[in-house]
Amino acid sequence: MKPVILGLSGPYLTPGERALLAQHQPLGVILFARNIETPAQLRALNAEIKAILGPGAVLMVDQEGGRVARLKPPHWPALPPAACLKTKEAAYAHGRALGAMVKAEGFTMTAAPVLDLNIDGADPVIGDRAIIGPPALVAELGGAMAQGILDEGIDPVIKHIPGHGRALCDSHLALPRVAVNDEADHLPFRANRHLPWAMTAHILYEQWDSERPATLSPVVIGEVIRGRIGFEGKIMSDDLAMKALSGTLADLARGCLAAGCDVVLYCPGDMAGNREVLEAVG
C-alpha cells in the first residue's frame, strides 16, 4: 500500500475513484460531511472501499466531538467539545462513545484527541477543541480519551504534534510562526508517546527550524517529535491542501516523507490532486 490517505468527492465512489484506488492502493481514505448522508449509505461506502483496498485499509474520519464532527444529528448523537471534559472518567467515557460511534459505521480510525494546549490570545482554530487546564491535566485527560477510543477497537490520532496551541493564525489559511515550543507544549504528547498515531502541525517553529514547517522539517520530526518527545508511533501529516503549505502537491508529498512522516494526508477529494499525490510517492 502507498503511504497516502485520501479524501473522496462525494457519498458514493465514482468510476474514476474506484479505478484510482484499485490501481494505486493507498493506505486508506478519510471521509468528511460531503461523503456522509445516512448510516446505511455510509456503511455501504466504507464496505466498498474496504473491498477495494483490502482488510488492512485505514478508514478514517475527523471526529472529535463539538464543532469537529462529521457524524451529526439526527442520525448520530452530538458529543461535547473536549473543553467540557473535566475528569479522567468523563474523558474516558467520551473516548468510548466516540470510538463506538465511528466503529459502528465501519471506520478504523478517528482524528482525536487534540493534545494542543488552550492558550489565551491564540487563534480560535483550536479553542474548545482542546482540554482546558495545565499540561499535566491535558496529558491525563487526553490519554484517557485515547484509551477509550482504543478500547472500542479504533485507532486514535493525537494532534497536532509538537503543539498547535500557541499559533496566532489558522494553519488552514496561512502559515503560523511560533517562537517558543517547549516542555509545556510537549508534555501531553510525551505522556502519550506510546499511542499508535500522531498528526503533525503545519507550523514553523522558529527555535527548531526557521525555514520549514514541522510537517516538512527533518529537524522537527527527527529531533523534536522522535527525539525530545519520544513519540513511538506512526506520524501522519496534516492535510497537504491547507494554505500553511506552499508548493506543488507532488513536492509536498515527497517532502513530508523525506522529512520523516510515515503517511501523507490529502483531504479535498479532487481526482487531479489525488492522482498527483499518489504518483508522487511512487
Q: pLDDT tens, 29-41?
A: 999 999 999 999 9
Decide: 240 and 3 in contact? Cβ < 8 Å.
Answer: no
Among 192, 199, 265, 203, which residue's Cα sits nearest to residue 232?
A: 192
Residue 133 CA to residue 188 CA, distance in Å, equals 11
Residue 62 CA to residue 32 CA, distance in Å, equals 7
Q: pTM of the full predicted structure?
A: 0.96
Residue 211 CA to residue 23 CA, distance in Å, equals 36
Among 38, 24, 30, which residue's Cα sits nearest to residue 5?
A: 30
Active site residues: 172, 238
Per-residue pLDDT averaged across 162-191, rounded?
A: 96
CB atoms under 10 Å from CB of 277, counted, come to 26
Q: pLDDT tens, 120-172?
A: 999 999 999 999 999 999 999 999 999 999 999 999 999 999 999 999 999 99
pLDDT of residue 185: 97
Per-residue pLDDT band at 282 (split at 50, 70, 90): confident
Tell me how long the chain is. Answer: 282
Residue 167 CA to residue 73 CA, distance in Å, equals 31
The DSSP secondary-structure symbol of 224 reads I
Decide: 7 and 29 in contact? Cβ < 8 Å.
Answer: yes
Residue 86 CA to residue 99 CA, distance in Å, equals 19
Q: pLDDT tens, 194-235?
A: 999 999 999 999 999 999 999 999 999 999 999 999 999 999
Domains of the chain with CATH codes: 2-280 (3.20.20.300)
Per-residue pLDDT averaged across 165-186, rounded?
A: 95
Going from the C-alpha of 247 to that of each of 92, 115, 210, 240, the distances in angstroms are 40, 28, 17, 10
Residue 219 CA to residue 91 CA, distance in Å, equals 33
Q: pLDDT tens, 236-273?
A: 999 999 999 999 999 999 999 999 999 999 999 999 99
Per-residue pLDDT band at 67 (split at 50, 70, 90): very high
CB atoms under 10 Å from CB of 37, counted, come to 14
Q: In terms of DSSP bridges, do strands 204-205 and 177-178 run parallel, antiparallel, or are they unpaired?
A: parallel
